[in-house]
Amino acid sequence: MTDTAHALGDSRTLWELVERRAALTPDRPVFLQGERALTFGGLRDRAERVAAGLYERGVRPGTVVAWQLPTRIETAVLTFALARLGAVQTPVIPFYRDREVGFALRESKAEFFATPGVWRGFDHTEMARRLGAKGVFEAYEDLPEADPSRLPAPPASGTDVRWIYWTSGTTSDPKGVLHTDRSLIAGGSCLAHALRLSESDVGSMAFPYAHIAGPDYTVMLLLYGFPAVLFEQFALPDALGEYRRHGVTVAGGSTAFYSMFLAEQRKDPDRKVIPTLRLLAGGGAPKPPEVYHSVVREMEVQLTHGYGMTEVPMITMGAPDDTAENLATTEGRPPEGMEIRIVDEDGRPVPAGVDGAVRLRGEAVCQGYLDPAQSADAFDADGFLVTGDLGHVLPTGHLVLTGRAKDIIIRKGENISAKEIEDLLHAHPAVQEAAVVGLPDPERGERVCAVLELAPGVAELTLAEVTDYLRGEGLSTFKLPEQLEILDALPRNETLRKVLKYKLRERYAPR
């Protein structure tokens, strides 16, 4: 991290960070979208005017404001206007509907709710009124503005809870995750430090700004003073024109994004899909080693992958100068200030190289959950967050994730890692995507089920062919899949396109 970025990383609040960056490079762009551009100085000035407009409407320090907005310049302006006021904001992913949105509004007790109106054929404002939301206003193109001279002083503390993010609800209600300005700055600083970027880079946001990755990425822009291209709707190949026009050097999002870029590259192997691109980076989902090697070999760019979650936006990140082995098989190393503890079933720390449960402590860790009972279960006696992930730390400090606790399949009393099988399946030439789940079985307890998307041009793949291949790769017999399912597309969420394994379990479980 440069000296300037390191100094900015000490900002107490997000608004202080905006002001300090705007004073340094007011005329450099921070957001690019279509034909529009917003500079760092413009972000500061417009956000302050919008803060004044919101203040006139009754938004005060501590007021809870929910917003469900797409990835747009106006969304970023609104969120920093709320940061200027010291409001508590609760972002809601724009693809969520009545159940999730109603839950977030009720649980957060939101006093205002910003919507995009009709977006992608769905009337968000009508939904808000149907749910009985308070203070509904549309914030897609028009934001309220007023004279900022009437504003109170900006918030001085960065350790108050000012953000309520929502974990993805699957078979149960989402959890409200409590963050402070400082926890978000710490998460973004970790990302910036690991990627070794500079003011000459051009980044990109192809994921919802309402995701925890939104502020994570924006903090990085503020620390280093370079812009990002915003994509309100991301689809390939349609988005490639914007990547090329703006000379994007850093792209990514998650493993699914890497695979999409790779698929585009394979359409014309002799022409670089994005000529200026030098780095793919992301996290939020497991990365099979074969994906890393394919990207580096075929796209001729570096790939660095990290580990994060709504509760801790950035935990570890691969660095561009890590070894190929570490970049392919680990999640990178934690930054200074992030403690990783691997523990056994009794909560006792285990040595390097030994698998166990992953626990975390550091400034980027959330303050807990909106529900106090959930917070009580989330931390151990030493204040470490219980993640539900399994893995081990190498002597070099690199973290290797071996799966989720719920992704461990117990077959006849033997533990089987779904991720181990998935990594091997991703290297099979007939496989495009793979997910492995455990299904209830009266004789075995659970049986191993592999669900695959086939590569283009592959018409069929049998269970016998899959098991023969896995045996050839050295997989133990007791880990071999006993059931194979083929889908045109695995079910995914709308944020980082993670595979929704609970849907696979529901679909294929015996009735």
SS3 247: coil
- DSSP notation for 380-423: -TTS-EEEEEEEEE-TTS-EEEEEEGGGEEEETTEEEEHHHHHH
Segments forming the whole domain that contains residue 135: 3-182
Specify if 478 maps to a domain.
yes
CB contact burial 393-432 (16+ within 10 A = b; e otherwise): beeeebbebbbbeebbbebeeeebbbbebbbbbbbbebbb
Q: Which residue has the tokens 């930054």?
A: 335
Report the interhelical angle of 73-85 vs 14-24 (nearest 10°). Answer: 120
Q: Length of the chain in residues, anyone?
A: 511
- DSSP notation for 173-216: ---EEEEEHHHHHHHHHHHHHHHT--TT--EEE-S-TTSTHHHH
Specify if 504 maps to a domain.
yes
Do 473 and 372 fall within a single domain? no
Last residue of a domain, one of 373, 404, 435: 404
DSSP annotation of 233 reads: S
Specify if 252 maps to a domain.
yes
Specify if 222 maps to a domain.
no
Specify if 377 maps to a domain.
yes
Who contacts 55 (Cβ-Cβ below 8 Å, separation ≥6)? Answer: 85, 146, 150, 151, 152
Do 428 and 381 fall within a single domain? no
In angstroms, rounded to a whole number, what is the distance separating the alpha carbons of residues 96 and 98?
7
Among residues 79, 86, 89, which one has the least CA distance to residue 47? 79
Specify if 193 maps to a domain.
no
CA angle 93, 253, 379 (to 5 degrees): 65
Among residues 180, 66, 109, 107, which one has the least CA distance to residue 370? 107
Last residue of a domain, one of 118, 150, 182: 182
Do 262 and 341 fall within a single domain? yes
What is the chain's pLDDT, residue by residue, as a tens digit (511 residues)?
677 887 898 999 999 999 999 999 999 999 999 999 999 999 999 999 999 999 999 999 999 999 999 999 999 999 999 999 999 999 999 988 998 899 999 999 999 999 999 999 999 999 999 999 999 999 999 999 999 999 999 999 999 999 999 986 544 678 999 999 999 999 998 888 888 899 999 999 999 999 999 988 999 999 999 999 999 989 999 999 999 999 999 998 888 889 899 999 999 999 999 999 999 999 877 788 888 999 999 999 999 999 999 999 999 999 888 999 999 999 999 988 899 999 998 999 999 999 999 999 999 999 999 999 999 989 999 999 999 889 999 999 999 998 777 777 878 767 788 888 999 999 999 999 999 999 988 777 789 999 999 999 998 999 999 999 999 998 888 899 999 999 999 998 877 688 888 899 889 987 6
Who contacts 373 (Cβ-Cβ below 8 Å, separation ≥6)? Answer: none
Specify if 465 maps to a domain.
yes
Conformational region of residue 323, where left means phi above 0, alpha means psi within -120 to 50, and beta covers everything else: beta
Do 398 and 441 fall within a single domain? no
Q: pTM for the whole thing?
A: 0.85
